[in-house]
Each structure stands twice: as structure tokens, then as C-alpha cells.
């Protein structure tokens, strides 16, 4: 193993590979900043370029693009509320409010430090425990994945304000319903398409995310024009847009969050099919619960914890997703599926023998992840004051720009005008729901997890002969479901429990 690590270090530190990881990080960051272009598109474009490269060099370039795009995706989420990458949706919940309050530079700095820390800690975990973690991911079955998706959905409680849990649950169900539109992948039957050919492939994540976040945000700003006092406050706030200064209180808040979210994100990333999106939502929900009643109220309004947790977790999960790819040959996400195809085209078969047969490839990719995180930090920190200036653009220019990039980003994915029409319909509906104070995040969470939930539930039912007994017979599945139930129902029951305890104390006082 040590010999393999030394081989990987020498491969990763070669001039050509150092150049490739730098180029990959730069390209990935730029693509991630553009709403509509994610890591899958970026890596797909890189594959033809890497054909003439050594396998380790090609994979290092694609890995750099991958975590560069996740790193850069936080920028559009924070500045214009347009999460073009699923893994950065949760970043927008507190990053965008921070940016709107005149702290865009601080928000981008928190995201940069959290991303670097999460990616670095995960790369160390990967270096130490990659081969043994393969057995952990193999132990998970379809029943456990279904329970994990249910646990992911309980993060909905984190996005519901006081008394709004029912609204959040309604939006989650709406998201699950939208995820069922299209062709049933198991039976090949069309569902809820209303006879429209354009809906046979379902509704794309990008379309829904852009409609409910970026497009609806732009429309809300048009519908609710700012007062003179608000404009004056914004002009004063814009003077500090580029300030990256973190207070000692911010640092104290971030350190434990980074530690917890790195571990959680890496573990979720190791599980094939889970990925950065679920990791970011779970980390956000966990921190909201741990923050307590006072600091918990700041979530969704510009909380440092609320921004640091998902940014740490999604980068840790990106590194973790290389465990099933390299050690089992199982892609943990759409992005790693493309990388799997690239590896096979190089004549390398990922799997348990990869780190024995091709130690240079295996360990050089892992070592390059740490180098890549350093490169990303060096590339992005000096640019933060200039990137933050985007918010200083007048609303009359910025709103049309958001509309343009959102519509063009979605159109460039499918080249179908129907998607533009559907996006506008979703955006108008989102504006109506937002005016009624329905949260958008639970709907997106339900949509993201809906397809994976259905697929794993069907597989579990087939394995168990259409019996639901797996929910309580398999200890791991049952344990995860118990945790999910506790996370969802305990906060709902707490007011009644505290009221009951108060009455008992009063009764005891009167009796005394």
C-alpha cells in the first residue's frame, strides 16, 4: 500500500498532471458558475480531449473539473439564487440571504473555506480507508437505500418555519408527484404525460431548479418593488460586497460544523447512488437541529452554519463518491458514471483489483484531490472581491441577466422550446406559492429523491416477494427509519410535550 501511495504521489506531482489538475479546476469552476452547465456536461466535453492522454492524467483532469464545478456552483447559488448543480441547492438557502444583506464577499469566503476543508478532510479519509470502505458500501442493499432516501426527506423539517411543517410536507409531496412524470423505467409505461411527447423523459432537475429559484426570484423582485428606504440600505450594503473578513465568532461557528459535515458528507458519498445532493440536505438539516431554538431561527435568513454545512458536505461527498467508482466499479452519481465510461475506454477496469493492478492511477487520483482543493482555494480567494461585484449591478440590468441565463441554460441542455414554456409555467406557479409562504426547498428535495426512492423500493419489493416486511425485519433499514421518524415527529411533538411538562410542574407546585 505504501509503495502504491508513493507511486501515486510521484504521478500526481509530475508537471503535466499538476497542470491538468489546475486546468480542470479552473474550467470546472467557470462552468459551475454558469447556471445550466453542470459537471456532467463539463466532463462529457472533456472525454474527447483526454483520449490521447495517459489514463492517470485524463482521470486527474476530469476529477479536477468535477470538484471544480461543485465548488463554482456555489457562486451562482449565493449571488443570484440560481443553483445550476443539484449539490449546491442547499447552499442558496443561507448564501443568497447573506449576499442580499450586503455580505456577498463573506458568503463566498465561507463557501470557499468550507469547500476546501470538506474536500481536504474527505481526501485524507479516502487515502487512509478507501479499500476497506468498499466493503461498507457493499453491505448496503436496496432496502437500506430506500430508508436512506426517507431519512433524506426528513430534512424537510429544517426548511419549515415555525408552524409551517404542514406546508413543507405538502411541497415535498408535490415534488414527489412531479418526479413520477415521464416514462416508468421499469415497465416502459408513460405516466402523467397527458399524451405529450415532450414529457416522456420527465421534468429535468435543471428546469425545475431554475424555475423555482432563479426565475421566480427575478419575478418576485419585479412584483415587489423596493421602497426608497430599502434602496438606500442596499446601496450602503453594496460598499462592503467584496469584504471577505470572517469574525472570530464566525470561525468558532464554522469549525465544529466543518468537522461534522465532512464526516457525514464523506459517508453519504461512499454509498453508491446517494451523492452530494443528499449529503448537503442531510448536513443542513442536522445542523439546523443541533443549532438550538435561538440559532436555529437564523437558518434560511443568512446563517453561517447553514451555509458552511452544505458546502462542506457536498465537497466531502464528491471525494467519497470515488470510493465505489475506483474500488467497486460502481458509479455513485451521473458524473462518476461518465468517468467510469472514460476509465473503461482507457482499457482500465475499475474494481477491487484496481489499486493492485494500477496503483499509479488509483492513488494519483486520490492525491490529486488534495492538490485540487489547494488550487481551488488559491484560484478563488483572490477573485472573491471581483465576483461579489455582480450584486452591485443595478436591478434593471441584473434581473434581465438572470432571466436570460436561466432560460438559455435550460434551452442549451435540450434545445427544446417546450422546456422554456414549461419553465415559465413552473416559475409563475412558484411565485404564487411563495406569496402564500410555501417553501420551495422541500419540493425540490422531494423531486430529487423521488426517482431514487421509487427505484429502490421496487427493487426491495421484488427481492422480498412483494412483502413490506423488509421495513422492520432488516436491522439497518429499521434503524434508519426509526431515526427518520424521530427527526420528523419529535420537533412536531415538542410543543405538546413542553406544555404537558409545564402543567405537571404547576400541578406539583399547587399540591406542595
How sure is the predictor about 429, in pLDDT bands with cuts at 50, 70 and 90?
A: very high
Domain count, the chain: 2
Binned at pLDDT 50, 70 and 90, residue 355 comes out as low
User: Could you report the per-residue pLDDT of 43-65, keeping only the tens digit for each?
Assistant: 766 776 777 788 888 888 888 88
Instruction: Choose between 1 and 381: higher pLDDT.
Output: 381
**Across 38-52, 200-214, 306-320, 476-490, least confident range:** 38-52
Residue of 512 and 33 predicted with greater confidence: 33
> In this structure, are 35 and 93 located in the same domain?
yes
Residue 161's pLDDT band, with cuts at 50, 70 and 90, is: low
String of DSSP letters for 371-404: HHHHHHHHHHGGGHHHHGGGGGS-HHHHHHHHHH
Residues 408 and 497 in one domain: no
- State how far the Cα of 308 lies from the Cα of 261, in Å rounded to an integer: 9
What 3-state DSSP class applies to 251?
helix
pLDDT at 396 over 80: no
Mean pLDDT of 123-135: 72
Determine the straight-line distance between the first and last CA of the chain, rounded to whole angstroms: 70
Tell me what the pLDDT averaged over the chain comes to.
Answer: 78
Task: Indicate whether 227 and 255 sit together in one domain.
Answer: yes
Query: Does one domain contain both 416 and 497?
Result: no
pLDDT higher than threshold 80 for residue 32: no
**Residues 173-194: tens digit of each pLDDT:** 898 899 888 887 777 788 888 8
What confidence tier does 407 reach under pLDDT thresholds 50, 70, 90?
Answer: confident
Kindly list the distances between the CA atom of residue 349 and the CA atoms of 117, 354, 360, 362, 390, in Å, as whole numbers in the listed order: 31, 7, 14, 11, 45
pLDDT, residue 228, reads: 59
Query: Of 151-160, 342-351, 420-429, where does the model show the most confidence?
Result: 420-429
Residues 6+ apart with CB under 8 A from 471: 143, 147, 477, 478, 481
| Domain co-membership, 164 together with 252 | yes
Instruction: Band the pLDDT of 453: cuts 50, 70, 90.
Output: confident
Q: Where are the alpha helices (DSSP H) in 34-103?
A: 39-50, 55-80, 89-100
pLDDT of residue 160: 61
Query: Which pLDDT band holds residue 410 (cuts at 50, 70, 90)?
Result: confident
The values of phi and psi at residue 183, to 5°, are: -95, 130
Closest-CA residue to 183 (of 203, 206, 210, 208): 203
φ, ψ (nearest 5 deg) of residue 155 = -65, -10
Contacting residues for 284 by C-beta, under 8 A, at least 6 apart: 90, 93, 155, 158, 299, 306, 309, 310, 313
Residue 11 belongs to a domain: yes
Confidence of residue 257 (pLDDT cuts 50, 70, 90): very high
Percent of the chain with pLDDT over 70: 82
Q: What is the pLDDT of residue 274?
A: 63
What pLDDT does 138 receive? Answer: 64
Residue 282 has pLDDT above 70, yes or no: yes
Is 338 in the same domain as 480?
no
Beta bridge partners of 509: none
**Strand ranges (E), 123-211:** 182-183, 190-191
| Residue located via cell numbers 404564487 | 432
Domain coverage including residue 402: 1-138+152-467
Q: What is the CA radius of gyration of the chain?
A: 23
- Per-residue pLDDT at 260: 92
Give 338's contacts (C-beta < 8 A, 6+ positions apart): 40, 43, 44, 47
Residue 108 lies in a domain: yes
Is residue 332 a contact partner of residue 24, using CB atoms and an 8 Å limit?
A: no
Give the confidence band of 328 by pLDDT, cuts at 50, 70, 90: low
- Residue 247 sits in the same domain as residue 357: yes
Contact status, residue 246 vs residue 106, Cβ threshold 8 Å: yes
Residues 6+ apart with CB under 8 A from 293: none
496 with 374, same domain: the answer is: no
Distance CA 275, CA 147 (A): 15
Q: What is the pLDDT of residue 262?
A: 92
| Pair 280, 310: CB distance under 8 Å | yes
Which pLDDT score is estimated for 308? Answer: 92
Secondary structure of residue 191 in the 3-state scheme: strand
* 480 shares a domain with 343: no
The answer to whether residue 15 is domain-embedded is yes
So what's the pLDDT on residue 137? Answer: 61
Amino acid at each position: 500500500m505504501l509503495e502504491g501511495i508513493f507511486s501515486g504521489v510521484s504521478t500526481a506531482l509530475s508537471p503535466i498532471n499538476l497542470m491538468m489538475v489546475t486546468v480542470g479546476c479552473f474550467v470546472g469552476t467557470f462552468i459551475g458558475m454558469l447556471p445550466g452547465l453542470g459537471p456532467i456536461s463539463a466532463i462529457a466535453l472533456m472525454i474527447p480531449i483526454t483520449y490521447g492522454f495517459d489514463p492517470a492524467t485524463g482521470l486527474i483532469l476530469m476529477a479536477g473539473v468535477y470538484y471544480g464545478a461543485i465548488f463554482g456552483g456555489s457562486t451562482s447559488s449565493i449571488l443570484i439564487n440560481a443553483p445550476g448543480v443539484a449539490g449546491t441547492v442547499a447552499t442558496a438557502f443561507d448564501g443568497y440571504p447573506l449576499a442580499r444583506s450586503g455580505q456577498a464577499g463573506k458568503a463566498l469566503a465561507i463557501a470557499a473555506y468550507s469547500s476546501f476543508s470538506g474536500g481536504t478532510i474527505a481526501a485524507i479519509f479516502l487515502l487512509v480507508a478507501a479499500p476497506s470502505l468498499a466493503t461498507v458500501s457493499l453491505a448496503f442493499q436496496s432496502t437500506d437505500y430506500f430508508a436512506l432516501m426517507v431519512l433524506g426527506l426528513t430534512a424537510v423539517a429544517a426548511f419549515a418555519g415555525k408552524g409551517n411543517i404542514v406546508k413543507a410536507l405538502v411541497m415535498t409531496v408535490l415534488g414527489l408527484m412531479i418526479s413520477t412524470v415521464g416514462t416508468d423505467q421499469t415497465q416502459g409505461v408513460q405516466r402523467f404525460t397527458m399524451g405529450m411527447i415532450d414529457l416522456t423523459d420527465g421534468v429535468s432537475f435543471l428546469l425545475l431548479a431554475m424555475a423555482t429559484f432563479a426565475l421566480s426570484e427575478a419575478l418576485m423582485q419585479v412584483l415587489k418593488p423596493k421602497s426608497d428606504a430599502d434602496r438606500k440600505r442596499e446601496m450602503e450594503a453594496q460598499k462592503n460586497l467584496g469584504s471577505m473578513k470572517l469574525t472570530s465568532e464566525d470561525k468558532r461557528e464554522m469549525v465544529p460544523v466543518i468537522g461534522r459535515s465532512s464526516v457525514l458528507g464523506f459517508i453519504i458519498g461512499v454509498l453508491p447512488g446517494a451523492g452530494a445532493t443528499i449529503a448537503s440536505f442531510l448536513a443542513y438539516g442536522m445542523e439546523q437541529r443541533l443549532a438550538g431554538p435561538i440559532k436555529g431561527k437564523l437558518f434560511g435568513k443568512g446563517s453561517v452554519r447553514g451555509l458552511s454545512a452544505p458546502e462542506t458536505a457536498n465537497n466531502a461527498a464528491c471525494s467519497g463518491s470515488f470510493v465505489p467508482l475506483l474500488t467497486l466499479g460502481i458509479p455513485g452519481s451521473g458524473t462518476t458514471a461518465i468517468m467510469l465510461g472514460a476509465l473503461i475506454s482507457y482499457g482500465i477496469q475499475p474494481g477491487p483489483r484496481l489499486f493492485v493492478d494500477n496503483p499509479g492511477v488509483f492513488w494519483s487520483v486520490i492525491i490529486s484531490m488534495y492538490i485540487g482543493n489547494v488550487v481551488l482555494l488559491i484560484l478563488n480567494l483572490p477573485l472573491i472581491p471581483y465576483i461579489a461585484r455582480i450584486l452591485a449591478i443595478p436591478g434593471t440590468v441584473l434581473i434581465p441577466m438572470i432571466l436570460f441565463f436561466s432560460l438559455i441554460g435550460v434551452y442549451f441542455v435540450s434545445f427544446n422550446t417546450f422546456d422554456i414554456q414549461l419553465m415559465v409555467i413552473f416559475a409563475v406557479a412558484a411565485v404564487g406559492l411563495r406569496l402564500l409562504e410555501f417553501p420551495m426547498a422541500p419540493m425540490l428535495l422531494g423531486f430529487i429523491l423521488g426517482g431514487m426512492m421509487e427505484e429502490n423500493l421496487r427493487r426491495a419489493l421484488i427481492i422480498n416477494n412483494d412483502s413490506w416486511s423488509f421495513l422492520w425485519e432488516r436491522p439497518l433499514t429499521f434503524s434508519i427509519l426509526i431515526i427518520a421518524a424521530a427527526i420528523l415527529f419529535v420537533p412536531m411533538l415538542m410543543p405538546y410535550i413542553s406544555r404537558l411538562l409545564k402543567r405537571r410542574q404547576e400541578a406539583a407546585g399547587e399540591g406542595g
